[in-house]
Amino acid sequence: MSGLMELLSNDFLPKFLAGMVVNFEIAAIALVVGLALGLLLAAGRLSGGMVTAITVSIISLMRAAPTFVVMFFLLNAIPRDATLFGAPFALSGVMTVALSLVPYSAAYVADAGVDSLRHLRAGTREGALLFLPNITRAFFVLVMSSSAGAAIGVTEGITVILRQAEQLSSFDDRLVLFAIGIVMFGIPLQIAFALIGLIQRRVGRVAVKEPAVEV
């Protein structure tokens, strides 16, 4: 345990917090790109005809594509000297992880967006407002999923923990360190989910109190 304490007394916490910032950064990029793409797909899905069929297929494929495989595909399929419209298009580690999460986030946004647009068309504004807590939930799922970056050397929170764990020879110390990691990731996640639950219940109550809006 003394080995663990020695490690933790060094610069572990600042490094870990800096790593967690990277997790949030990756999630934010994935969500912003996912929102743009997902809302387009949602609009396409509601437009009817052939466009709907194509959009549904695209969303199904995006939903089925495993994030981890997409990440390795992006990492290996895009040449280091690739250009897009004449500009260099080499992806950093953070961007690779973020873009690998886009199929998930875009498919999720498309599904939530379709629900929300249907509520709006039906005049149920509160139902449509559930889009926001759903997106917040997706954001935290993305934060957790961004730990996949550890596999390609992105210095995010889990990477910092695993690097510290490599320095520990004691099995017990490692488990304690992992537990610390779970707590550190768990606190913002559980607070966020509690807030989402609160917002959803409040929106639900408003919806029940103001049924006239739903007409």
Interacting residues with another protein (CB under 8 A):
60-61, 63-70, 72-73, 76-77, 80, 144-148, 150-153, 155, 157-158, 161-163, 165-167, 169, 171, 174-175, 178, 181-183, 185-187, 189-190
Output 43 or 95, the one with its CB closest to another protein.
Answer: 95
29 or 108, CB closer to another protein? 108
Cα gap 33→62, rounded to integer Å = 14
Report angle CA 43, 44, 48 to the nearest 5 degrees. 110
In this complex, which beta carbon is closest to another protein, that of residue 162 or of residue 199? Answer: 162
How far apart are the C-alpha atoms of 71 and 100, rounded to whole Å?
5
Min dist. Cβ of residue 69 to another protein (A): 5
Break the chain down into helix, strand, coil percent, rounded to 5.
85, 0, 15
Residues in the chain: 215
Give residue for tokens 């999460």: 101
Minimum CB separation from another protein for residue 37, in Å?
Answer: 17
Least distance in angstroms from the C-beta of 207 to another protein: 19
